[in-house]
Structure 1
Amino acid sequence: MRMQVAPQAYFITGTDTGVGKTLIASALMHAMAGQGRRVAGMKPVASGTTWHDGAWHNDDVDALQAASNLTFNAALVNPYLLQEPAAPHIAAAAEGIGIDLDHIERCYQTLCASADTVIVEGVGGFIVPLNDHCDTADLVCRLDLPVILVVGIRLGCISHALLTIEAIAARGLHLAGWVANLTTPETANVTPMIATLQRRINAPLLGCVPCLPAADAAGAAHFLDMTALLTANNTSR
C-alpha cells in the first residue's frame, strides 16, 4: 500500500552523480523557507565522510541541514551514513550494513509530521542499487514522491535526461519539473541544449542555474522559478 505524501514533498534526482543535486535541493529549501514554510531536508543514503567536530560528516547532509529551518536528529535526516565514497550497495556491504527501505520510510514519515515541506535528495542518478534487491527508484516508489530532475548541462546530458525521464514515467511517478544546472563555466552549446530539452520534456523548467563561484543555496535560489513549481498539480498521478 502506498502512503500519503506530505502537503509538499519532492524527490530530487539527477542525470548522474556530480550534477548539483545538493545545491538545487538546498536552493529549493531556501526558497520555500523564505515563503514561511517549515522545511526539512533528507538524504536517506550518503556515502563519503570526513571526521570533524567529534563526528563523521557528509557534505551533502550538512548542506541540507544548513538549509532547513527545522532541527532534527541527524539519524532522521540521514538514516544511512556510509564512510567510503562508493556506490551505496558497495559501501554498505563493506561496512556490514543492510539498507532497509522500511527504516527510511519511517524516518521520512517522522520528518513529514513536523514539516510543511520535505525535500528528499537521492544519491547518484535515478537508478542506483541500495542492496541486492532494491534501488533508489524503488525508494521513490515506496515514498510515492513527485520527482524534480537536476540536469547537469554538459555534453551527453540530453540523452541522460531523456532516459531518466523515461525511467521515472515507467514507474508511474510524476515529474514535477526539472532544473538546468551548469557545472562548469566553459560548457559549449548551453542555449541549444536547454532549448532541445525544453521541447522534449513535458514538465516545467524550474530554472537555469549558472556555474556559481561557490555552492550557495541562497545564490542558486535566485535562479529558480518557484511559481512554476508551486502552481502546478505536482502530486497528481
Structure 2
Amino acid sequence: MSKGIFITATGTDVGKTYVTSLIVKLLRQSGMNAGYYKAALSGADVVDGELIPGDCKVVADTAGLAVRPQDMVSYIYKTAVSPHLAAQIEKQPIETDVILADFAKAKQQYDYITVEGSGGIICPLRLDEKELMLIDIIKLLKLDIIVVASAELGTINSVVLTIDYARSKEILVKGIILNKYDNGNFLHRDNKKSIERLTGLPVITCVANNDENLTLDAKILCECYKEV
C-alpha cells in the first residue's frame, strides 16, 4: 500500500517546489521508494520545441528521480497564468478522471508519493461550466497536507488563514514548513513560535536559503504520509 502527502503553500513564490524537492530527496536518500506527482502546471518552458514542466524538472534533478519531468504531471500549459485560465486559453480543460488515473499509476510505482499543488491552497483549476478547485484535488486523492510558508514578515496572517481554510474544508493539516528561514533573525524565530501557538500545529522543519538538505529525521517526515 502506497502512502501520500499533499504539499500546498500560503501563496505563489514561497518556495513550495524547492521544499518539495528536498522532501523527496530526503526520503530517497533514506532508502525509501519515493516519487512525485503534480496535477497541473502552467508556465512551462519550451526546450527544443517540447514543453518542459519546470517544477517537475527541479524535483527530478534534486531528488535524483530517473523520470522524464513530463511524466510526473497530468496537465502542462505554456501560458504563465493560473491553471484554470491557462486551460481555457489552450483549450485543454482539467479532468478529474485523468488525475485519478495518473495518481493510480504513481501508486503502482512508488511507496511514498509527494503531491505538489499549484500556487496557494485556493487555486482554481477550472472555472468554466465546471468548477474545480485545488482543494477538490486534495479531497479526490484523499490526502492530508503540509503547508509551506515563508518565514518572512506577514507569514502569520497567511499561515493562519490557509490552515483555517483547510480545516473549514475538513482537510487534515499535518504540519508547516517554514522556508527562507534565518535562525539569527528574531522576527523569523517569533513567527515560528507564534504560528505554532495560533494554529496548534508544529513547524516540522525550517529551511534556510540555499539549503541542500532538510534538517529533519526521515522517520518523522514519513509519519506525515497516509495510506492511499
The reply to whether TM is greater than 0.5 is yes
Q: Secondary structure at the match of 1:43?
A: strand
Q: Which residue does the alignment assign to 2:164?
A: 166
Q: Is 1:194 equivalent to 2:189 in the alignment? A: no
Deviation string 1:194-227 (CA, Å, 9 cap, x unpaired) is 1101212333322111122xxx6xx132x23434
Deviation string 1:171-194 (CA, Å, 9 cap, x unpaired) is 222112210101799977111111
The TM-score normalised by the length of structure 2 is 0.89
1:11 to 6, 9, 23: 6
Contact 1:41 1:119 in 2 (8 A): yes
Structure 2 gap segments, 5+ residues each: none
Structure 1 gap segments, 5+ residues each: 1-5
Distance 1:53 1:8, change over 3 A: same
Q: Which residue does the alignment assign to 1:3?
A: none
Alpha-carbon distance between aligned partners in 1 of 2:226 and 2:45, rounded to the nearest angstrom: 37
Q: Is 1:79 equivalent to 2:74 in the alignment? A: yes
Alpha-carbon distance between aligned partners in 2 of 1:170 and 1:10, rounded to the nearest angstrom: 19
The TM-score normalised by the length of structure 1 is 0.86
Q: Which residue does the alignment assign to 1:235?
A: 226
Paired residue type of 2:28: A
The CA deviation at 1:155 is 2.0
The CA deviation at 1:235 is 3.3
Paired residue type of 1:142: L
Q: Is 1:63 equivalent to 2:55 in the alignment? A: no
Work out the number of aligned pairs and report it. Answer: 224
- After superposition, the CA RMSD in angstroms is 2.4
1:50 to 45, 51, 55: 45
Of stretches 186-195 and 199-208 in structure 1, the one that deviates more from structure 2 is 186-195
The CA deviation at 1:68 is 4.9
Alpha-carbon distance between aligned partners in 2 of 1:209 and 1:104, rounded to the nearest angstrom: 30
The CA deviation at 1:74 is 4.5
**Percent identity among equivalent residues?**
25
Q: Secondary structure at the match of 1:177?
A: strand
Q: Which residue does the alignment assign to 1:155?
A: 153
Distance 1:206 1:167, change over 3 A: same
1:28 to 23, 27, 48: 23
Q: Secondary structure at the match of 1:19?
A: coil
Alpha-carbon distance between aligned partners in 2 of 1:198 and 1:142, rounded to the nearest angstrom: 28
